[in-house]
Amino acid sequence: MFLNFASMRNIPFSPPRVDQTTINAVVEVLQSGWITTGPKTRLLESKISDYCKAEATLCLNSWTNAVELILRWFGVGPGDEVIVPAYTYSATGNIVFHVGATPVLVDCDKDSFLVSAAAIKEKITSKTKVIMPVDIGGMPVDYEQFMDLVRLPEVKQLFQPKGENQKNLGRILVISDAAHSFGANYKGKRVGTQCDVAGFSFHAVKNLTTAEGGALIFNLPEPFVNAEIRASINISALHGQTKDALSKTQAGQWRYDIIEAGYKCNMTDIHAAIGLVELERYQETLDKRESICEIYNSVFSKHNLFVLPEFHNEFADSCFHLYMLRVKNASEEQRDSIIKRLAERGISTNVHFQPLPLLTYYKNQGFRINDFPNAWSQYESEISLPVYFDLSEADALWIAENVIECTQQVFSK
């Protein structure tokens, strides 16, 4: 096939913003004599609490481990059900399997990547312990709908509590999978404090990264004391040890106890140092991401080929994590062919997401994509375009033009 190399560039999908400031921050930690969990991690937690106006934040090594600890804290296990969207990354469903419970998948709304409380309500049974709506691409779900749902008398009546935490809550726990939505807004407030617990991901491709990492924000109602729950999850995340490594190294402070067979998923200060740099300049990151998304929107809106992603609605504003374009009437094969053509021009794109029932493990558990028609239709025509801080406006325009050209080529075949 003839390739016009003059028109080729090398555009990655989502490289991190690593510059001398990031490197200096990491070097400072490396030279400080303390490289695991310590002052930088605690500082990042307090800055995230300030940023999200939250009572209690805990930073750990990933969204996955952090949210799994919440399922365990709530006593979710065999025989229990956790309702999650079919349209999400596998982590949301996998952690339900980790604790031995059953994920119950819900289709997204028609023409949306998000699930609604109405769809979740239909799946609630007496076994439901947790619901976990997901802010796909950085666009928040309508959190209040989910909180209202679990407080409905008929829904509360169905709830069969096991263990102290479930009894104290007296209803289904709402965990917000906010892996994508750090910095997004819901009803004028930053995302994080709207549901019982929110989980952020700081994985390498996320808007705000610590290379690998995640954070929990606790907003549990009384009688829970969020600072205490945060402290107990922190212990679970470090072997069940009553003292962290830093406190243990203080002179004479060697003795500790193990109060449970805990896990090991703390964040290190090296990672936290990256996060602190990222957070300091996060508004700049958000502004740049927004301007790239606006360039894409302004070019694509002139063509009748696409369904543009939603970044604002009456209650929420996205943090522009993903630019999720849908190609009107494209089959999966046509979408893949557009992606291939873009790759031949040096443009890396992605698909968010393959709905869980398309993945082998989930198929083997009995899930079938035919039961999730909205997820399938969102997926088959979806292409996520590059959005990152160092992407120039000229490159964004060039990408958009190439998307149009490749789409027209595929449809003219």
Residues that bind ligand PLP (CB under 6 A): 62-64, 88-89, 91-92, 134, 177, 179-180, 201, 203, 214
**CB 235 to ligand PLP: min, Å:** 21
Tell the smallest beta-carbon distance from residue 52 to ligand PLP (Å). Answer: 17
User: Which residue lies nearer to ligand PLP by CB, 129 or 203?
Assistant: 203
Measured in whole angstroms, the distance separating CA 256 from the mean position of its chain's CA atoms is 35
Spatial separation of the C-alpha atoms in residues 107 and 8, rounded to whole Å: 39
Least Å distance, CB 353 to ligand PLP, is: 7
Rounded Cα gap, residues 78 and 101, in angstroms: 5
Asked if residues 81 and 230 have their Cβ atoms less than 8 Å apart, the reply is no
The nearest distance, CB 277 to ligand PLP, in angstroms, is: 18
Which CB sits closer to ligand PLP, 267 or 273? 267
Least distance from ligand PLP to the Cβ atom of residue 69, Å: 12
Q: Read out DSSP for 344-378?
A: HTTB--B-S---GGGSHHHHHTT--GGG-HHHHHH
Quote the least distance from Cβ 342 to ligand PLP, whole Å.
Answer: 22
Given the complex with ligand PLP, which of 49 and 62 has the nearer CB atom?
62
At 153 the three-state DSSP class reads helix
Q: Which two tokens stand for residue 51?
A: 């940023």
CB closer to ligand PLP, 57 vs 201 = 201
Taken in order 348, 349, 353, 357, is the CA torsion positive or negative? negative
Distances (CA, A) of 396 to 144, 290, 297, 301, 413: 35, 12, 11, 15, 26
Of 91, 67, 78, which is closest to residue 356 (Cα–Cα)?
Answer: 91
Supply the angle between the helices 373-380 and 332-344 in degrees, to the nearest 10.
30
Smallest gap, in angstroms, from Cβ of residue 21 to ligand PLP?
23
- CA dist 406 and 345 (Å) reads 10
User: Which contacts of 283-288 are long-range, i.e. CB under 8 A and separated by 24 or more positions?
Assistant: 284/389, 285/17, 285/207, 285/208, 285/389, 286/183, 286/207, 286/319, 286/320, 288/389
Radius of gyration of the chain (CA): 22
- Residue 13 CB, nearest approach to ligand PLP (Å): 13
Task: Please state the closest distance from residue 271 (CB atom) to ligand PLP, in A.
Answer: 11
- By residue count, the chain amounts to 413
Name which of 57 and 407 has its Cβ closer to ligand PLP: 57
Residue 104 phi, psi dihedral angles, 5° rounding: -110, 120
How many other C-beta atoms are found inside a 10 Å radius of the C-beta of residue 257? 8
Least distance from C-beta 213 to ligand PLP, angstroms? 7
- The token pair at 151 is 């407080």
Shorter beta-carbon distance to ligand PLP: residue 59 or 400: 59
Output the six-digit token pair for 58: 């805990």
